[in-house]
């Protein structure tokens, strides 16, 4: 499985915004330029993340985006699901009715285990963890 461009770009933007915590909001143009993402595409992602309650947008000359919660309260799973929806690898894990073979599928258990492992891993990593890891810091490195 590959992460979509949507999920990768969204996570990168959120990490950049997290590194700016406590400072003025970051302008969409700055994020787009630094991350190499088109402004139109980035705007669509940030609107979804705002709708999910992870971002605030500030209007005006010194406006932009900032986190709506602390970086250690936002997991990569939350960001992923806000942008992509459920992380389950196959539709029958969400609803058995989507596949006539769901109850007799020999591989369904494997798909469930893989989906659970991805969910567990992504829910265990916060934006603060990513920022701290990037800077090579240890536990408690992120000033909140």
Predicted confidence (pLDDT) at residue 27 exceeds the cutoff of 80: yes
Kindly state the DSSP code that residue 50 receives in the 8-state scheme. H
pLDDT at 102: 67
Q: Which two tokens stand for residue 25?
A: 């909001």
Confirm if 105 and 99 have CB atoms less than 8 A apart: yes
**pLDDT (0 to 100) of residue 12:** 95
The whole-model pTM stands at: 0.85
Q: Look up residue 90 and give its DSSP letter.
A: S
Query: Left if phi > 0, otherwise alpha if psi is -120 to 50, otherwise beta: which for 103?
Result: alpha
Q: Determine the average pLDDT of the residues in 34-45.
A: 96
The topology (CATH level 3) of 5-87+127-134 is Arc Repressor Mutant, subunit A (1.10.10)
Short-list 70, 53, 60, 72, CA closest to 25: 60
Annotated domain spans of the chain: 5-87+127-134
């Amino acid at each position: 499985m590959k992460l979509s461009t949507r999920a990768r770009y969204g996570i990168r933007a959120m990490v950049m915004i997290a590194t700016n915590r406590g400072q003025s909001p970051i302008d969409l143009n700055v994020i787009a330029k630094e991350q190499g993402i088109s402004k139109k595409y980035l705007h669509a992602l940030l609107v979804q993340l705002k709708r999910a309650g992870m971002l605030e947008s500030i209007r005006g000359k010194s406006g932009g985006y900032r986190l709506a919660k602390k970086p250690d309260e936002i997991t990569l799973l939350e960001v992923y699901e806000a942008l992509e929806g459920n992380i389950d690898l196959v539709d029958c894990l969400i609803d058995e009715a989507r596949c006539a073979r769901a109850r007799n599928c020999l591989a369904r258990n494997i798909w469930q285990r893989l989906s659970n492992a991805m969910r567990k891993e992504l829910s265990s990593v916060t934006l603060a963890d990513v920022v701290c890891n990037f800077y090579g810091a240890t536990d408690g490195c992120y000033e909140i």
